[in-house]
Amino acid sequence: MKKVIVGVSGGVDSSVALILLKNQGYEVEGLFMRNWDSLVNNDISGNPTLDNEICTQEQDYNDAKSVCEKLGVKLHRVDFVKEYWDYVFTYFLDELKKGRTPNPDVMCNKYIKFDLFLKEAEKFGADYIATGHYARLIDGKLYKAIDQNKDQSYFLSQLSNKQLENVLFPLGEITKDKVREIAKEYDLVTSDKKDSTGICFIGERNFKKFLSNYLPNIPGDIVNIDTNEILGKHIGLMYYTIGQRRGLDVGGTKDKLFVVGKNLDKNILYVAEGENNDYLYSDSCIIDNIVLNTNDKITNCNAKFRYRSKDVPVTLEKINDKEILVKYEDVKGVTPGQICVLYDKDRCLGSGIIKEVRKNNEKLWYLL
């Protein structure tokens, strides 16, 4: 009998993954990862500071424990707090300091869940590891899930073929509704539990309050990029992303304004009128930190520039061994720091981090 160690989070998806794998005849055990110290943080000076916001981490562990007990599954617990800080949170902060929009969940998968977790699972004699991600593996290649609305291949796109060799995604062939249905059939405590949203280590806490423990708020001007008029004050460039409309303190303006760029040196947040203004559009970008899981030379494929964005046709041109130029028809909101994921229909070919956004063969000066 093959042994599978399942990453259990205390949510409904990983709970049902346990059930499906047990029913398929695997010897199943659970492993709960503690990735964040919810009791004590360090402030921007490196001093400990109590985190008074409600953290669900211990409740998640209790829910995972309840599910495993009900299913007769052994549960292990491992502490990756230091590793998470070193490989994920430090990256997150460094990107924010550069004025970019990072995706820490992608890095968590790359360095924690499908690296350190795998090594830990091997200590328990695992033949495979499994998670509650909505994705499929076909002949060792990563594909989108059947439930396209819940598909998470985007967040798995930085994983190498090597990392995916002994992985199972039991939810890839079913829908979220079916997952809820199965959880209710087994009367699991997680059956009606709300899906986690936002950045994993922040949870339901106030993002601005949380982040101010680590990075100083440096207010600056909000400037109309067309008129160069100062419209108001921003609370810190790190709190804004391209295309954002809400949260702009611009007084009594009657026009809808959208974030279109940043000037890190002058601490300026650029805005423009209208959700379809020209500043939000580009026709190419450069990506680096590239992971490609194919030996074929790729010239034409599809790309997704944000998790919820549509796939768009792109043409790829290799710049050097570390960078690729991605060309496309006008696309809105392509943002430095975000992940550009490449697809051949439903197959995920890999991804890169957006380094530079361009239009008419020139870097957009108002984007970092």
Residues identified as active-site: 108, 200
CA pair distance 36, 83, nearest whole angstrom: 10
For the chain, state the CA radius of gyration: 22
* Element (DSSP H or E) covering residue 12: helix 12-23
Tell me the angle at which helices 57-71 and 12-23 cross, rounded to the nearest 10 degrees: 20
Q: Say how many residues make up the chain.
A: 368
Query: What is the SS3 assignment for 78?
Result: strand
Contact 262, 368 (CB under 8 A): yes
DSSP 28-75: EEEEEEE-S-SSEEE-TTS-EEE--S---HHHHHHHHHHHHHHHT-EE
Say how far apart CA 77 and CA 135 lie, in whole Å: 25
* Tokens coding 89: 């949170």
Residue 155 burial (10 A CB sphere; 0-12, 13-18, 19+)? buried
CA–CA separation, 324 and 348 (whole Å): 17
- Give the up-direction half-sphere exposure of residue 329: CA atoms within 13 A in the CB hemisphere: 4
